[in-house]
Amino acid sequence: MSVRVRFAPSPTGYLHVGAARTALFNYLFAHHFDGTFILRSDDTDAERSTAAFQTDILEHMRWLGLAWDEGIEVGGPHGTYKQSDRYDRYREVAMQLLQEDRAYYSFVTPDQLNVFKQRARNAGTSPAYDGTLEPDPSQISRSMLEGGQATIRFRVPRPGITHFIDMVRGEMVFEHAQVDDFVIMRSDFTPTYHLASTVDDVDYGITHVIRGEDLLSSTPKHILLTEALGSDRATYGHLSLLMGPDGKKLSKRHGDTALSAYREAGYVPEAMNNYLALLGWSPGDDETIISVSEMIERFDGTSISRNPAVFDQGKLAWMNGVYIREMSDDDFIEVAQPRVEADLGRALTEEEIGSFAALTPLIKERTKLLSEIEGQARFAFVAPTTYDEASWSKVMETPEAAIALDGATAALESLENWSTEAIDEALRGVLEANEMSARKGLQPIRVAISGSTVSPPLFESIEILGKDETLERIRRARDLLT
């Protein structure tokens, strides 16, 4: 049997990091078994689905490198892979189930359902709706002629159980007495999620359904529908939901949840894939940094944890820094230069490109997010006209600041060998002569040349900046102190 899996987001919002993890796990599983990874669009919610959300999903799937073998825009033997283009198929299935008495027209109202469920709870019985409030079959045609709002419900066989082995959670047993006769067609004759998703899985030959645990309770419904259609059930695996550091379900109160926000903040896809993979799966050997190719080799679906996984932005940022530092200088420049130029509002000159290349190893070593590059590199191309308020207050409004700047001016003016080593020796001589710590004596120089206490290593930065520009910036800051 060839493995066929699917990722089926609804275009009703931006791609969520939890959904991205689900997509990644499906992708890894498919590629581990040389199977097929399908991307479809569960877009039956016409009011909330938008083209903008669909574009966001596709764009960020590609950003992560999760190429799909069949599906939206790629094509395949199943048309557009959009549920909104398959309504006729869903209606055909609903009619088939009605004819086989596996489904029925339902006229029960929401108020009636609420009363039914409350009475069941009061009596200590199952509140699952079992069709007992429906009119006599002989009255159904009359009810429809009179404009009754009928849905179509699947007839759950009772008594009975649905039993399956979940890839993540092991043996699962659902008593049919606890399962509603669930709606498969709304009164406007549009399909519910249960019908559309199951019919697609059957028609597309899906062998494994890997999805979030919030859909675990829907699985007996989907299995019953699958078997009613005469098809073999898929193997199911339900992933634990992502939690925030406070142990509650990940939401906006924990920070950004849309993948686009992390991309814009300067995370790289390699780090995001790596981090998401470790949220509920272990590659073994306590490894932390692992490539997608290595994940594919090991991801057979057997080491997925059922325990909730905590999404920690601090750990993600640390991992992102690891991947940035592992970039070659050329790859880093390719990513970073456009960001610097966008920040400056102009292209770098040939001379500036050389300066940036020299600065690259220094910036790369101190960068956790790509969005930090512009702030670290700006000083090399633009002299500070304003200074970071907190940095100025903390460093420049001290008795040592003027002494440090005066000493640095004198030492650097007389320096003939403009190199990192010579600059280091000269400025440390100033510290020694004035009995100042590095923090008291070097931080004022850093603020003078960069505008902030946060910058690449000082001595290397001064060498790259050049003698004339360095002295001019130190003198300007010293004048402001006066």
| Helical packing angle, 458-465 and 350-365, nearest 10° | 180
pLDDT number for residue 437: 93
- Neighbouring CB atoms inside 10 A of 280's CB total 20
Q: Which sequence positions are flagged as catalytic? A: 252
Return the domain boundaries, the chain.
Answer: 86-239, 389-481
Residue pLDDT tens, the chain, 482 long: 799 999 999 999 999 999 999 999 999 999 999 999 999 999 998 889 999 999 999 999 999 999 999 999 999 999 999 999 999 999 999 999 999 999 999 999 999 999 999 999 999 999 999 999 988 776 666 555 555 579 999 999 999 999 999 999 999 999 999 999 999 999 999 999 999 999 999 999 999 999 999 999 999 999 999 999 999 999 999 999 999 888 888 877 766 789 999 999 999 999 999 999 999 999 987 789 999 999 999 999 999 999 999 999 999 999 999 999 999 999 999 999 999 999 999 999 999 999 999 999 999 999 999 999 998 999 999 999 889 999 999 999 998 999 999 999 999 999 999 999 999 999 999 999 999 999 999 999 999 999 998 889 999 999 999 999 999 999 999 999 87
Helix (H, G, I), strand (E, B) or coil at 209: strand
Phi-psi region of 258 (alpha: psi -120 to 50; beta: other; left: phi over 0): beta
Instruction: Classify 86-239 by CATH class.
Output: alpha beta
Dist. CA 30–CA 43, nearest whole Å: 24
Dist. CA 62–CA 79, nearest whole Å: 21
pLDDT number for residue 374: 93
pLDDT number for residue 144: 58
- The domain at 389-481 falls in which architecture? Orthogonal Bundle (1.10)
Cα–Cα nearest to 117, from 105, 132, 102 = 132
pLDDT number for residue 139: 64
Spatial contact of 107 and 113, defined as CB atoms under 8 Å apart:
no
